[in-house]
Chain A
Amino acid sequence: MPILNKLVIFDEQNINDSLKKALSIEPKDVVMEVRESGLKGRGGAGFPTGTKWMLASSANSKQKYVVCNADEGEPGTFKDRVLLDEYTKLVFEGMVIGGYAIGANKGFLYLRGEYRYLLDKLNSYLEQMRKENRLGNNILGTNFSFDIEIRLGSGAYVCGEESALIESLEGHRGEARNRPPFPVNTGYLGSPTIVNNVETFASVHIIIAKGAEWYSKHGTSKSTGTKLLSISGDCKKPGVYEVPFGITINEILKLVEAENTKAVQVGGASGTCIPKAEFERSISFEDISTGGSVIIFNETRSMLHILENFMEFFVEESCGQCTPCRIGNVKLLDGLKKIRKGECSLSYIHELIELGKSMQIASKCGLGQSSPNPFISIMTHFENEIFSQR
Chain B
Amino acid sequence: MLVTEKNALTIEIEDLTKRFGNQRESLLPILQEVQLKHGHISDFAQQEIARLLDIHPVEVYGVVTFFSFLSTEPKGRFIVRLCQTISCDLAGKEAIAHTLEKELGIKFGETTQDKKFTLEYCNCIGMCDQGPALLINEQVFTKVTPSKVIDILKKFN
Contacts of A313 in B (CB 8 A): 85, 123-124
Q: Are A151 and B128 in contact (CB under 8 A)?
A: no
A156-B128 contact given A301-B90, A306-B86, A309-B85, CB 8 Å threshold: no
Interface residues contributed by chain B, number (CB under 8 Å): 38
**Least distance between B132 CB and chain A CB atoms (Å):** 12
CB of B125 closer than 8 Å to a CB of A: yes
Complex interface residues of chain A between 288 and 326 (CB less than 8 A to chain B) = 293, 295, 297, 301, 306, 309-310, 312-313, 316-317, 319
Q: Are A117 and B128 in contact (CB under 8 A)?
A: no
CB of A9 closer than 8 Å to a CB of B: no
Q: Are B128 and A76 in contact (CB under 8 A)?
A: yes
Q: Are A78 and B67 in contact (CB under 8 A)?
A: no
Complex interface residues of chain A between 199 and 233 (CB less than 8 A to chain B) = 230-233
How far, in angstroms, from A157 to B31 measured CA to CA in the complex? 18
How far, in angstroms, from A313 to B125 measured CA to CA in the complex? 13
Interface centre among A112, A155, A230 (most CB of B within 10 A): A155
**Least distance between A132 CB and chain B CB atoms (Å):** 26
CB of A184 closer than 8 Å to a CB of B: no
CB of B138 closer than 8 Å to a CB of A: yes
Contacts of A116 in B (CB 8 A): 138
Complex interface residues of chain B between 129 and 145 (CB less than 8 A to chain A) = 129-131, 135, 138-140
Q: B29-60: contact bitstring with A at CB < 8 Å (1 yes, 0 no)?
A: 10110010000000000000000010000000
How many contacting A-B pairs (Cβ < 8 A)? 122
Q: Are B63 and A171 in contact (CB under 8 A)?
A: yes
**Least distance between B52 CB and chain A CB atoms (Å):** 13
Q: Are A171 and B139 in contact (CB under 8 A)?
A: no
A155-B28 contact given A75-B87, A78-B129, A232-B131, CB 8 Å threshold: no
A171-B123 contact given A114-B135, A306-B86, A309-B85, CB 8 Å threshold: no
Q: Which of A151, A170, A175, A232 contacts B24 (CB 8 A)?
A: A170
Interface centre among A72, A172, A234, A269 (most CB of B within 10 A): A172
Contacts of B31 in A (CB 8 A): 154
Interface residues contributed by chain A, number (CB under 8 Å): 54
Complex interface residues of chain A between 178 and 209 (CB less than 8 A to chain B) = 189
Q: Are B122 and A155 in contact (CB under 8 A)?
A: yes
How far, in angstroms, from A2 to B128 measured CA to CA in the complex? 12
How far, in angstroms, from A146 to B83 measured CA to CA in the complex? 37
CB of A238 closer than 8 Å to a CB of B: yes
CB of B156 closer than 8 Å to a CB of A: no
Residue of B nearest to A117 (CB): B138
Q: Are B123 and A151 in contact (CB under 8 A)?
A: no
A171-B24 contact given A117-B138, A232-B131, CB 8 Å threshold: yes
Contacts of A75 in B (CB 8 A): 85-87, 123-124, 128
A173-B63 contact given A154-B68, A232-B87, CB 8 Å threshold: yes
Q: B66-77: contact bitstring with A at CB < 8 Å (1 yes, 0 no)?
A: 111110000000
Q: Which of B66, B129, B138 contacts A174 (CB 8 A)?
A: B66
A230-B86 contact given A117-B140, A171-B28, A172-B63, CB 8 Å threshold: no
Contacts of B63 in A (CB 8 A): 171-173
Q: Which of A117, A232, A233 contacts B139 (CB 8 A)?
A: A117
Q: Are A232 and B129 in contact (CB under 8 A)?
A: yes
Q: Which of A77, A154, A169, A316 contacts B128 (CB 8 A)?
A: A77
How far, in angstroms, from A172 to B66 measured CA to CA in the complex? 9
Q: Are A239 and B129 in contact (CB under 8 A)?
A: yes
How far, in angstroms, from A333 to B133 measured CA to CA in the complex? 25
Q: Which of B26, B86, B126, B139 contacts A295 (CB 8 A)?
A: B86
Q: Are B138 and A157 in contact (CB under 8 A)?
A: no
Q: Are B89 and A77 in contact (CB under 8 A)?
A: no
**Chain A residues at the B interface, C-beta cutoff of 8 Å:** 2, 72-78, 80-81, 112-117, 151-157, 168-175, 189, 230-234, 238-240, 265, 269, 293, 295, 297, 301, 306, 309-310, 312-313, 316-317, 319
Known pairs A114-B122, A230-B128, A269-B85; list 7 more (Cβ under 8 Å).
Answer: A76-B128, A113-B32, A171-B53, A239-B129, A265-B86, A309-B86, A317-B123
